[in-house]
Amino acid sequence: MRIGFFDSGIGGLSVLYEALRQLPHEDYLYYADDANVPYGNKSREDIRCCVIEAVDFLAGMDIAALVVACNTATSAAIQDIRRKYRFPVIGMEPAVKPAVKSVDGKRVLVFATPLTLRESKFMVLLNQVDIHNTVDYLPLQELVTFAESCQFDRTVILTYLKERLKDYDLNRYGAVVLGCTHFPFFKNHIREFFPKGTVIVDGNRGTICNLKNTLTSMGRIHEGSGQVTYYRSGKRVVDDFTMERYLQRMRQIEEGGMF
Ligand code: DGL
């Protein structure tokens, strides 16, 4: 049986990359909701509808487990998904916990979509973890649009980031959290703004560790050969152009987020 991966678009490929690294002997179905991307500036209700439609499709393919490789979809709809389906569902949340642990008296800056940052799930997380009020957060929705349109031009990205970060004293930060799965594609662009030694964390490794533990406890590990079948809003991807674009994004993650 295969493992379903779901994202609004190509962001989840950064998580799938980690899955292929840690769990190369599984088969995967990757679903990008291209017809509805981006999610981050939609309402929670609209996102729920999109997510349920996508997960219904994957459920019909008889998956062993589902990875919601999208912080925004997790924030808006994880409870609805868990209620509706019987397979295990692994969601994502901004990696604030490890970030707070890693900074020594410095601050933490979380980047995510507007939806993720305003949902109660994030507020609950901050209440649990941000005991000393050291966490700041900022939405960077435009990075999703850039990634979806393959806009990785250094000048364009740095200009956008410079404008968004202009009110922050970046020397105060010891860690940056990439709380959206599209953001690891811009890891090196982001790194340029912060002092040397600033830790940049995403939730990908932790998410795939959860998947690994889940499959192990189900006794369902090592059931495939690393094969991935891609879907764009319910249509199977067969053209070489899209396939190559997806592989390029995964190579980009391997190379540290710079293209
Ligand atoms: N990749 C998604 C996330 O992790 C959502 C991006 C979007 O569609 O706005 O939040």
pLDDT tens per residue across all 259 residues of the chain: 899 999 999 999 999 999 999 999 999 999 999 999 999 999 999 999 999 999 999 999 989 999 999 999 999 999 999 999 999 999 999 999 999 999 988 999 999 999 999 999 999 999 999 999 999 999 999 999 999 999 999 999 999 999 999 999 999 999 999 999 999 999 999 999 999 999 999 999 999 999 999 999 999 888 888 999 999 999 999 999 999 999 999 999 988 754 4
The reply to whether 119 and 197 lie within a common domain is yes
What pLDDT does residue 258 have? 45
Atom of ligand 1 nearest to the CA of 141: 9
The amino acid present at 46, given as its one-letter code, is: D
* CA 4, 252, 48, 130 torsion-angle sign: positive
28, 250 in Cβ contact below 8 A? no
| Radius of gyration, alpha carbons of the chain | 18
- Whether 50 sits among the annotated catalytic residues: the reply is no
The pLDDT assigned to 256 comes to: 73
Range of the domain at 118: 96-202
Q: Is 150 in the same domain as 238?
A: no
**207 Cβ closer than 6 Å to some ligand 1 atom:** no
Q: Hey, which of 72, 121, 149 would you mutate to test ligand 1's pocket, going by the most ligand atoms within 8 Å of its Cβ? A: 72
Q: Classify residue 16: in a domain, yes or no.
A: yes
Both 56 and 150 in a single domain?
no
What does each C-alpha distance from 55 to 138, 179, 198, 226 come to in angstroms?
Answer: 29, 22, 37, 21
Residue whose C-alpha is closest to residue 115's, from 166, 35, 30, 40: 40
CA angle 219, 225, 229 (to 5 degrees): 105
Q: Are 101 and 233 in contact (CB under 8 A)?
A: no
The secondary element (H helix, E strand) that includes residue 7 is strand 2-7
| CATH number for the domain harbouring residue 121 | 3.40.50.1860
Q: Do 143 and 208 belong to one domain? A: no
Q: Which of 149, 206, 197 is nearest to 178 (CA)?
A: 206
Q: Is the peptide bond before 38 cis (omega within 30 degrees of 0)?
A: yes
CB atoms within 10 A of CB 163: 10
Q: Is the domain of 192 the same as that of 182?
A: yes
Position 257 scores a pLDDT of 55
pLDDT at residue 1, as a whole number: 83
User: Quick count: other Cβ atoms within 10 Å of Cβ 119?
Assistant: 20
Return the best residue to mutate from 47, 143, 180, 232 for the ligand 1 pocket (most ligand atoms within 8 A of CB): 180
Treating both helix axes as pointing N-terminal to C-terminal, what angle do 204-218 and 13-22 enclose, rounded to 10 degrees? 50
Same structural domain, 28 and 61: yes
pLDDT of amino acid 45:
97
For the CA of 37, the closest atom of ligand 1 is 8
Are residues 198 and 103 part of one domain?
yes
Atom of ligand 1 nearest to the CA of 181: 4
Examine residue 20 and state whether it is found in any structural domain, yes or no.
Answer: yes
Q: Is residue 59 part of a domain?
A: yes
Q: Are residues 247 and 173 in the same domain?
A: no
